[in-house]
Structure 1
Amino acid sequence: MSKIQEFHRLHTGRELLLLGNAWDLLSALLLEEAGFKAIGTTSWGIANSLGYADGQLIDFDHHLSIIKAITDNVKIPVSADIEAGYGSDQRTILENVLRTADIGVAGINIEDSLKRQKGLRSVKEHCHLLEAMRMMLDNRGYHDFYINARIDTYFQMLEPFNETIERAKFYVESGASGIFIPGLVDIEEIKGIISDIDAPINLLSLPGLTDCHKLNEIGVKRFSFGNALSDKIIAYLKMNASQILKEQNTACLFEK
């Protein structure tokens, strides 16, 4: 079974897939060693590790080289977070998707949000992109490649529920393998979306939305923690660095 097939299968079992989000090779190797069944890169974490803010500010070649280092060195499937595709036109985005598939990832996250301004791509425009993406990947032999269509309505709209369902249905019809809805935390709305959408639903861990067992019970198929782990490690590093400087003592580095 290829990694693409394995990753696709992980979304169809009885158990929710808890994805480990990595931002460099070391974090990916440690997540694999811990027992995670698949890894998703976090664009926020990668940007942070390089001194950038999130939002496609890194050169795509540099971003891709980090994803490739992870893919080349772990045995489990890797899904690449490529934000909105690192391009302002469909041709560039499709080229970047294909380059990402060619380095051996099993899937991607692709957003419907705009990067140079606030707002979302029109449903029609994003559906055309997803259709072209699926056709291109199939033509290159990447059958079952996982296109996780991220919908950013909950980050950009005051009343996103109905718009989210509408977009999700169109995206699935256009070739998306699954639907990712970061910012969605209300349990009743989660249930409503799951009952209406014929595709695996992926949620992002946020305060108040952390329990995989409860989410599995209501039918969520994939759960990720995004940049939360990398942020926690950065905060720990800052705290210890400040303590060392303030106390002029490195004892904290050896405390268990």
Structure 2
Amino acid sequence: MSKQDLQKSAAALLALHVPGTPVVLPTVWDAWSAKLAVDAGFAALTVGSHPVAESVGKPDGEGMSFDELTARVAQITGAVDVPISVDIESGYGETPQRIIDGLLSVGAVGFNIEDTVHKEGKRIRTAEEHAALVGELRRAADAADVHVVINARTDLFLRQDGDEANRFERAVSRLKLCAEAGADSLYPVGRHDPDTLRRLTSELPLPVNAIALPDQDDPASFGPLGVGRISFGPFLQGALSARAGELLARWR
């Protein structure tokens, strides 16, 4: 993909992030699932680390290498012509330059970056450390002259980190630092009740990514809460797996 094509794709992905009118990025894991989503009419996709790992028999949590991930992303971008964002977990221990170069080389124009460092005992980066990494990734993307869409994620809710009494405030604070460092959207990953999600979207300065259960949640419920982006994490693959299990059980 040429630089001009990458620039156009990145701009198109960014423009889809509208609080109150959320873009739905179905979480895919291979060329088949990507084509399924595009044929259903979706304008952009995200590649999920968990479902990709499951699809190749590796554990989530950077059980794959960055090169293995980008090889799978290349298959997806070769099969569909829509903007692709990639869950790169905590960065696979790679430098920001190598991450940006690797993603652009396979036609991806966005990514999630989380604050759980899998290769270091799954510790959580400090707020300042995570924001600094986001800033380094933004500068690497700027040097490549492509506005790669950065979805900065925190795992504080998912991991129930620290004191629950101030967890919300700590999550908002660290995501605000990521916004200042150059993120484009913010991902307080976890299943939140409507009031919490509304508080998050009202207090955070960028579009907020919510995770949805594709077989259970009401698609119309997220917009009124101010959400700007919806993805499925491992839950689309899980729902399809459950249905496949039902079908196969008929033939045991």
User: How far is 1:48 from its partner?
Assistant: 0.7
The answer to whether the 8 A contact 1:183-1:206 is kept is: no
Whichever residue aligns with residue 244 of structure 1, its letter is W
1:39 to 42, 45, 62: 45
The answer to whether the 8 A contact 2:153-2:175 is kept is: no
1:244 aligns with 2:251: yes
Q: Which residue of 1 aligns with 2:125?
A: 121
- 1:26-45: CA deviations, max 9, x gaps? 11001000001111011111
- For 2:114 and 2:104, the matched residues in 1 are separated by 17
- 3-state SS of paired residue (2:117): coil
User: What TM-score comes out, normalization by structure 2 length?
Assistant: 0.89
Query: Which 4+ runs in 1 deviate beyond 4 A?
Result: 206-209
1:107 aligns with 2:110: yes
- 3-state SS of paired residue (1:190): helix
Unaligned runs of 5+ in 1: 246-256
User: How far is 1:79 from its partner?
Assistant: 0.5
1:218 aligns with 2:225: yes
The answer to whether the 8 A contact 1:86-1:93 is kept is: no
Q: Which residue of 2 aligns with 1:253?
A: none
- Report matched runs for 1:150-189 at 5 Å: 150-156=153-159, 157=161, 159=164, 160-189=167-196
Unaligned runs of 5+ in 2: 1-6
2:85 to 63, 79, 90: 79
Which structure ranks higher in relative contact order (CA pairs < 8 Å, sequence separation ≥ 6)? 2
Q: CA RMSD in A?
A: 2.0
The answer to whether the 8 A contact 2:20-2:224 is kept is: no
User: How far is 1:13 from its partner?
Assistant: 7.0
User: How far is 1:227 from its partner?
Assistant: 1.3
- For 1:17 and 1:207, the matched residues in 2 are separated by 14
From the CA coordinates, give the structure whose radius of gyration is larger: 1
User: What TM-score comes out, normalization by structure 1 length?
Assistant: 0.87
- 3-state SS of paired residue (1:53): coil
Change (3 A) 1:197 1:27: same
- For 1:102 and 1:207, the matched residues in 2 are separated by 31
Identity of aligned residues (%): 31
- 3-state SS of paired residue (2:111): strand
Change (3 A) 1:100 1:74: same
- For 2:225 and 2:249, the matched residues in 1 are separated by 43
User: How far is 1:93 from its partner?
Assistant: 4.5
